[in-house]
Amino acid sequence: MATNYALVLFTFLALVSSQAFASDPSPLQDFCVADMKSELFVNGLVCKNPKDVKPDDFFFPGLDKAGDTSKNPGSNVTLVNVEKIAGFNTLGISLARIDFAPNGGLNPPHIHPRATEVLTVMEGTLYVGFVTSAPEFKLFSKVLNKGDVFVFPKGLIHFQFNIGAVPAVAFAGLSSQNPGLITVAKAVFGSNPPISDDVLAKAFQLDKKTVDWLQAQFSN
């Protein structure tokens, strides 16, 4: 009987623990404004004394301003995460403004390892999509117009591409105070130190000269 009780207790604790660590830390009080000056390293950020919290800890100005899209690949992401709004700490949210140059502005294939993303198009027309994991690698894609919303599940490769002749603007909500970003091409061909060109040539079925050229494009 004692063994069965211990097994049930262990199973319950395992389930609770898996839920507790499956996403951002949850608040145990009204808010936990991040103390950016603390040198203590924890999963998340240390809370500031509530007596020292000010309205500006929950504020960020400027998302009405367009980002510079003149450089390749023709997009600009203004991310507002916990580093910009300390009050995001433990709330499990962040947001971004994404500007796209006309005729092909691209937010290239990338991953947010810690967040689901919901995108709303404010201006323009975007072709967007995400690819599922193995073994299907299925593409789910859609053309979005002003007012349309699309969801990119956590951890899946996704992209946004301006197919219109005018600039496009979208806003994204992300389910983490620090969603993270892995741009696929940059991670593979621009890692530091670089991945062996033997590895990449075999993985992508390319000759090493082509791999070396690609690495040079993403080296900075």
CA distance 162 to 125: 6
**Which token pair is 190?**
């621009």
DSSP character at residue 25? P
The answer to whether residues 200 and 211 touch, using CB atoms and an 8 Å cutoff, is yes
For residue 84, report the phi and psi dihedrals to the nearest 5 degrees.
-100, -35
Provide the terminal-to-terminal Cα distance of the chain, rounded to the nearest Å.
63
Q: Is 110 annotated as a binding residue?
A: yes
CA distance 167 to 126: 10
Residue type, 181: L
Q: Is 107 annotated as a binding residue?
A: yes
Q: Side by side, which strands form the sheet with 126-131?
A: 139-144, 126-131, 157-162, 106-111, 182-183
Q: Could you tell me the CA-to-CA distances from 147 to 39, 105, 120, 125, 127 in Å, in that order?
A: 43, 19, 6, 10, 14
Annotated binding site: 107, 110, 112, 117, 158
Annotated binding site for oxalate: 107, 112, 117
Annotated binding site for Mn(2+): 110, 112, 117, 158
